[in-house]
């Protein structure tokens, strides 16, 4: 990236606006071109054999992918970054970049379900020992370390149960033991949690969510601290991962407005969360930005914002069938397994089989909401129709 645009002293919104752009390289056009390519030609055999030009073969980088990698590196305050074709591919890339046969990895019990599936299938098949830990364990994680523990996977808050994690405390223990810290930071993004500055070595984003932001592409990003970068680069190259330029373009486009969108999701989400707290049908709202939330102190200490994703638990007397009637009465909220786009979404939280180290949270059925960019009054009205359907 050009020196004129790369300036970590500038504010985040400024960096989101300028990171990864090099108009001077592209005839002044504000955005980088969407380069559809495989082959790159060399002017002569000497250039070819010495590799003395910026691009050699599109899988190893092209102007479009480099623009987003440069931008993610700058936004995350990382030593470097790589793209992946989905958020889950970013998680597998990050784990494979630092784990070998015979190693041990600690994974938070609140991890995204497919992360657990990856560990239980592929990682175990490769001879990697996996243990799950209580997400709220903090520095107590030291007791779970083995001589071969090479990585700790974190995610805060957990995307179904919303427990916060003390990332700096975990990082201190891990680094003293020579292990790397990985974090699925999709919820807060680098806008609201500076993962690398808080001790994370591999900061992972399901770019599908807030980076792309419009529910129209799948993307993942991994940003590395200096000690994790070589492994990331080597494994990325070895695996042959590549993201098509149209999807990278959608990531670059989403990046420019990410901070603005997130602030709107946060404000609307908090308004709905506070309103839900007043509803007699609701036992508890799981949202770390609420002062009543058990994770609030950590959120307040480490995070600078919240996204639009949280969950609530019905009171015990609400049955599973009634909670399904609630969902079926929603008109604005779509029923869909995603979040981070412009639209509101709801899912029933099903935790069966999701925990092995810690007990499942008790209580009435839970619903996870993604609060989109619709008018808050309309969102509330839709949820009111859901509550009315409980009585039917
Ligand atoms: C969606 C999601 C992912 C995976 O992203 P995909 O692009 O769907 O593969 C990873 N982590 C969290 C927390 C997610 O919500």
Residues 151 and 36 in one domain: yes
pLDDT at 272: 98
33, with CB counted inside 10 A (0-12, 13-18, 19+), is: middle
Atom from ligand 1 closest to the CA of residue 209:
1
Residues 232 and 303 in one domain: no
d(CA 224, CA 94): 9
Best of 158, 159, 214, 370 to mutate for ligand 1, by most ligand atoms within 8 A of CB? 159
Those residues whose C-beta lies under 8 Å from the C-beta of residue 35, and which sit 6 or more positions away, are 58, 62, 63, 64, 245
Task: Encode the chain (392 residues) as per-residue pLDDT tens digits.
Answer: 343 345 557 899 999 999 999 999 999 999 999 999 999 999 999 999 999 999 999 999 999 999 999 999 999 999 999 999 999 999 999 999 999 999 999 999 999 999 999 999 999 999 999 999 999 999 999 999 999 999 999 999 998 999 999 999 999 999 999 999 999 999 999 999 999 999 999 999 999 999 999 999 999 999 999 999 999 999 999 999 999 999 999 999 999 999 999 999 999 999 999 999 999 999 999 999 999 999 999 999 999 999 999 999 999 999 999 999 999 999 999 999 999 999 999 999 988 778 899 987 777 899 999 999 999 999 999 999 999 999 86
Q: Please report, for the domain that includes residue 51, its CATH number.
A: 3.40.640.10
CA of 166 to the centre of ligand 1 (A): 21
Residues 80 and 217 in one domain: yes
Between the CA of 141 and the centroid of ligand 1 the distance, in Å, is: 25
Q: CB–CB of 258/210 below 8 Å? A: yes
Query: CB within 6 Å of ligand 1 — which residues?
Result: 86-88, 112, 159, 184, 186, 206, 208-209, 218, 220
Distance of CA 370 from the midpoint of ligand 1 (Å): 14
Instruction: Indicate whether 132 and 142 sit together in one domain.
Output: yes
Kind and range of the H or E run holding 131: strand 129-133
Given 241, 256, 271, the domain boundary residue is 256
Q: For residue 74, what are the CA distances in angstroms to 67, 231, 243? A: 11, 19, 20
From 90, 111, 112, mutation site for ligand 1 pocket: most ligand atoms within 8 A of C-beta: 112
- Tokens 């957990």 locate to 158
Say if residue 235 is in the same domain as residue 171: yes
Dmax over CA atoms of the chain, in Å, equals 78
Which residue, judged by its Cα, is nearest atom 6 of ligand 1? 87
67 lies in the same domain as 150: yes
Query: According to the model, what pLDDT value does residue 7 have?
Result: 59
Q: Indicate if 127 and 230 belong to the same structural domain.
A: yes
Q: Tokens standing for 251?
A: 């990531």
Residues noted as catalytic: 59, 112, 184, 209
CA distance from start to end of the chain? 59
Q: Which atom of ligand 1 is nearest to the CA of 86?
A: 7
Buried-exposed string 308-328: b where 16+ CB fall within 10 A, e elsewhere: bbbbbbbeeebeeebbebbbe
Say yes or no: 123 and 168 in one domain.
yes
- How many domains in the chain? 2
Same domain assignment for residues 280 and 362: yes
- Residue 8 pLDDT: 58
Atom 2 of ligand 1, nearest CA residue: 206
212: CA distance to ligand 1 center in Å? 12
- CB of 315 closer than 8 Å to CB of 365: no
The answer to whether residues 94 and 182 touch, using CB atoms and an 8 Å cutoff, is yes
In this structure, the dihedral spanned by the alpha carbons of residues 133, 136, 138 and 143, taken in order and rounded to 10 degrees, is -30
Of 256, 291, 315, the position where a domain reaches its end is: 256
Output the six-digit token pair for 8. 């970590």
CATH code assigned at 375: 3.90.1150.10
Cα(26)–Cα(223) distance, integer angstroms:
26
- The angle formed by the CA atoms of residues 234, 158 and 97, to the nearest 5 degrees, is 10
Do 70 and 196 have their domain in common? yes
Residue ID of nearest Cα to ligand 1 atom 8: 87
Residues 21 and 72 in one domain: yes
341 vs 309: CA distance, rounded Å: 11
Ligand 1 mean position, distance from CA 24 (Å): 35
pTM of the model: 0.96
Q: Pinpoint the alpha helices (H) of the chain.
A: 12-18, 45-50, 63-76, 87-96, 113-118, 124-125, 167-176, 189-192, 226-239, 245-277, 296-302, 320-329, 376-391
Report the atom number in ligand 1 closest to the C-alpha of 219: 7
The DSSP-derived string for 175-232 is HHTT-EEEEE-TTTHHHH--TGGGT-SEEEEETTTTTT-SSS---EEEEE-HHHHHHH
61 CA to middle of ligand 1, Å? 24
- Atom number in ligand 1 closest to CA 207: 7
Last residue of a domain, one of 230, 256, 282: 256
Range of the domain at 67: 3-256
Q: 212 and 264: one domain?
A: no
**Ligand 1, residues 83, 86, 88, 90: which to mutate, most atoms within 8 A of Cβ?**
88
Q: Which tokens belong to 150?
A: 């090479």
Cα–Cα distances in angstroms (integers) from residue 271 to residues 232, 267, 278, 368, in the given order: 40, 6, 11, 15
Q: Cα(132)–Cα(145) distance, rounded to whole angstroms?
A: 11
Structure tokens at 227: 């000690």
Cβ 70 vs Cβ 197: under 8 Å: no
């Amino acid at each position: 990236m050009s020196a004129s645009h790369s300036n970590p002293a500038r504010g985040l919104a400024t960096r989101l606006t300028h990171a990864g752009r090099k108009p001077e390289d592209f005839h002044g056009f504000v955005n980088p071109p969407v380069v559809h390519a495989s082959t790159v030609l060399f002017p002569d055999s000497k250039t070819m054999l010495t590799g003395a030009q910026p691009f050699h073969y599109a899988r190893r980088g092209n102007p479009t992918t480099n623009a987003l990698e440069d931008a993610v590196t700058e936004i995350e305050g990382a030593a470097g970054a790589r793209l992946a074709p989905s958020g889950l591919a970013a998680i597998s890339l990050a784990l494979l970049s630092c784990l070998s046969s015979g190693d041990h990895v600690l994974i938070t019990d609140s991890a995204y379900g497919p992360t657990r599936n990856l560990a239980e299938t592929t990682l175990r098949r490769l001879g990697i020992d996996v243990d799950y830990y209580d997400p709220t364990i903090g520095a107590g994680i030291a007791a779970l370390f083995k001589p071969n523990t090479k990585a700790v996977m974190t995610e805060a808050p957990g995307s179904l149960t919303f427990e916060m994690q003390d990332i700096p405390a975990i990082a201190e223990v891990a680094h003293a033991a020579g292990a790397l810290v990985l974090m699925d930071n999709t919820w807060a993004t680098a806008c609201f949690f500076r993962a690398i500055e808080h001790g994370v070595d591999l900061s992972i984003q399901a770019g599908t969510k807030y980076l792309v932001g419009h529910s129209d592409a799948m993307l993942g990003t991994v940003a590395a601290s200096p000690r994790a970068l070589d492994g990331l680069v080597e494994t990325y190259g070895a695996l042959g991962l590549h993201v098509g330029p149209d999807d990278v373009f959608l990531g670059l486009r989403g990046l420019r407005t990410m901070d603005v969108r997130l602030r709107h999701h946060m404000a609307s989400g908090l308004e709905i969360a506070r309103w839900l707290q007043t509803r007699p049908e609701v036992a508890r709202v799981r949202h770390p930005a609420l002062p009543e939330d058990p994770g609030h102190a950590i959120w307040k200490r480490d995070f600078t914002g919240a996204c639009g994703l949280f969950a609530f638990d019905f009171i015990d007397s609400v049955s599973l069938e009634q909670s399904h009637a609630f969902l079926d009465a929603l008109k604005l909220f779509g029923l869909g397994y995603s979040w981070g786009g412009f639209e509101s979404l709801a899912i029933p939280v099903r935790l069966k089989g999701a925990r092995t180290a810690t007990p499942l949270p008790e209580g009435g059925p839970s619903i996870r909401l993604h609060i989109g960019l619709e008018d808050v009054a309309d969102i509330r009205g839709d949820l009111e129709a859901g509550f009315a359907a409980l009585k039917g």
